[in-house]
């Protein structure tokens, strides 16, 4: 099965990310990956989990969608109860994982299930092979997601189990693409002649905090260099990231901390903006005006208007907040704005054939 997508945004099953998943026009060159981290999209949803997640799959505006039950999640005291419960009861049980993924077999022309080794999670061996054997008859294509810290244990199963219609997702987490360990593992990946290969990396360091952003300045710990090297150096077919936001630890709640990270697609950099006080009004009075009058935004308006066009719903929300037609007093809203702006920029780059 031939693939032609260049970008795989990873979205987790949380409110703002699901809103973006349902509204963004991904087209045929972007293939989103949905990480399901809880049984339902919201606690008070009366539908069962199959109805909920099949609904999202049917609604997503993309030719294909990856469905992943992420293995990297670890219990923490600050994790929400619904994520904690899902991690303990389903994500850590191979049979329940298989059963959950099989419920997408009715939409198998659109869904590519993602499997990973459970060795580090449950200490079970040969779990990649067991999952592939259980799912192969239900799906035309399967993706294996492997990580820099599991790859060498995973590789024998990857080598023996992937076929021509499958996909390899090589997850670097926050490891730099030019790290010597990555180079070593890429030499092994190069021996895989057939599968489509995707490099996934979280561009925004998980340690970045809104309160520590330098207002209006480049965020030095936000490294989006994967876009520049995924083809030329890593020899991958496509790249993936967390769609312009931080891959956080799935903590519940948190304090008000007005901050916003804005992507500059021309220089492939992120700029940070923060409020002066712990008040939601800071988004309207400080952050939005600063973003809209910043040097990278002015440059986009003057020289690269396609990146801030009417199709960029994230940027359009910033304009609406600035003119008072929309409220900006929502920390969650700015997560969605960041994602929609970033996705529009990457889609524009793809349409401009920057990655061909």
Residue 271 DSSP symbol: E
Establish if 235 belongs to a structural domain: no
Quick check: is 268 in a domain?
yes
Cβ proximity of 289 and 282 under 8 Å: no
CA-closest candidate to residue 236, choices 270, 272, 201: 201
Domain that holds residue 313: 208-220+247-356
Mean pLDDT to the nearest integer, 69-92: 92
| Exposure b/e, 8-30, CB count within 10 A at least 16 = b | bbbbbbbebbbbbbeebebeebb
Q: What is the pLDDT of residue 296?
A: 97
Determine the pLDDT at residue 253.
63
Task: Decide if 228 is inside a domain.
Answer: no
User: What average pLDDT score do residues 223-230 get?
Assistant: 97
Three-state SS at 332: helix
pLDDT band at 94 (very low <50, low <70, confident <90, very high): very high
Phi and psi (nearest 5°) for 300?
Answer: -65, -45
Report the percent of the chain where pLDDT is more than 70.
99
- What pLDDT does residue 175 have? 94
* Residue where one domain finishes, among candidates 170, 201, 232: 201
Instruction: List the strands of the sheet with 217-218, edge to edge.
Output: 217-218, 269-274, 259-264
Q: Is there a single domain that holds both residue 18 and residue 154? A: yes
Query: What's the number of CA atoms in the CB half-sphere (13 Å) around residue 331?
Result: 13
List, for residues 180-200, the tens digit of each pLDDT value. 999 999 999 999 988 999 999
Are 31 and 239 in contact by the 8 Å Cβ rule? The answer is no
User: Mind giving me the DSSP string for 122-158?
Assistant: H--SSHHHHHHHHHTTT-S--EEEEETTTHHHHHHHH
Residues 269, 192 share a domain: no
232 domain-assigned = no
299-309 pLDDT, tens per residue? 999 999 999 99
Task: Please indicate, yes or no, whether residues 5 and 55 belong to a single structural domain of this protein.
Answer: yes
* pLDDT of amino acid 249: 77
Return the pLDDT at 100: 98
pLDDT reported for residue 248: 82
Q: Are residues 44 and 148 in the same domain?
A: yes
Q: Give the global pTM.
A: 0.96
Could you tell me if 280 and 354 are in contact, meaning their C-beta atoms sit under 8 angstroms apart?
no
Handedness of CA 31, 347, 200, 170 (dihedral sign): positive
Specify if 236 maps to a domain: no
The pLDDT of residue 179 is above 90: yes
Residue 157 CB partners (closer than 8 Å, separation 6+): 117, 126, 128, 129, 144
Question: How many structural domains are present in the chain?
Answer: 2
- pLDDT tier at 353, thresholds 50, 70, 90: very high
Same domain, 261 and 345: yes
Report if residue 277 sits inside a domain: yes
Per-residue pLDDT averaged across 15-39, rounded? 97
Tell how strand 259-264 and strand 269-274 pair up: antiparallel
Listed residue (355, 92, 73, 326) closest to 199, CA to CA: 355
Q: For 234-286, how does the pLDDT look when each residue is reduced to its tens digit (9 = 90+)?
A: 999 999 999 999 998 777 666 788 999 999 999 999 999 999 999 999 999 99
Q: Domain ends where: 137, 170, 201?
A: 201
Question: Cβ neighbours of residue 100 under 8 Å, at least 6 residues apart?
Answer: 36, 49, 69, 90
CATH number at residue 34: 3.20.20.70
Inform me whether the pLDDT recorded for 1 exceeds 60: no
Radius of gyration in angstroms for the set of CA atoms belonging to the chain, rounded to a whole number: 20
Residue 197 placed within a domain: yes
Among the candidates 201, 236, 255, a domain finishes at: 201
Residue 350, both tokens: 């793809």
């Amino acid at each position: 099965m031939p693939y032609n997508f260049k970008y795989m945004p990873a979205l987790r099953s949380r409110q703002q990310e699901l809103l973006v998943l349902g509204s963004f026009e991904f087209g045929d060159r972007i293939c989103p990956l949905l990480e399901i981290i809880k049984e339902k999209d919201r606690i008070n949803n009366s539908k069962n989990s199959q109805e909920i997640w099949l609904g999202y799959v049917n609604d997503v505006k993309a030719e294909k969608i990856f469905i992943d039950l992420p293995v990297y999640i670890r219990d923490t005291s600050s994790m929400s109860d619904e994520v904690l419960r899902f991690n303990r009861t389903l994500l850590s049980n191979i049979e329940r994982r298989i059963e959950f993924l099989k419920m997408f077999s009715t939409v198998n022309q659109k869904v590519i299930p993602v499997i990973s080794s459970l060795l580090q999670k449950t200490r079970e061996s040969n779990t990649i092979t067991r999952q592939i054997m259980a799912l192969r008859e239900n799906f035309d294509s399967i993706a294996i997601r492997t990580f820099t810290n599991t790859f060498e244990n995973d590789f024998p199963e990857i080598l023996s189990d992937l076929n021509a219609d499958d996909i390899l997702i090589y997850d670097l987490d926050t490891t730099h693409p030019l790290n010597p360990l990555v180079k070593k593992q890429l030499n092994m990946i190069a021996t895989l002649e057939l599968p489509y290969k995707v490099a996934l990396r979280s561009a925004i360091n998980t340690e970045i905090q809104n309160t520590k952003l330098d207002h209006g300045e480049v965020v030095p710990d936000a490294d989006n260099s994967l876009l520049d090297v995924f083809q030329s150096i890593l020899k991958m077919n496509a790249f993936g990231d967390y769609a312009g936001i931080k891959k956080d630890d799935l903590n519940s709640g948190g304090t008000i901390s007005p901050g916003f990270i804005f992507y500059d697609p021309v220089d492939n950099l992120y700029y940070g903006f923060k409020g002066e006080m712990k008040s939601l009004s800071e988004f309207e009075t400080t952050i939005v005006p600063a973003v809209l009058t910043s040097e990278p935004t002015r440059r986009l308006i003057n020289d690269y208007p396609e990146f801030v066009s009417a199709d960029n719903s994230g940027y359009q929300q910033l304009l609406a907040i600035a003119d008072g037609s929309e409220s900006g007093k929502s920390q969650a809203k700015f997560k969605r704005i960041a994602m929609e702006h970033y996705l529009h920029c990457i889609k524009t780059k793809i349409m401009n054939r920057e990655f061909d």
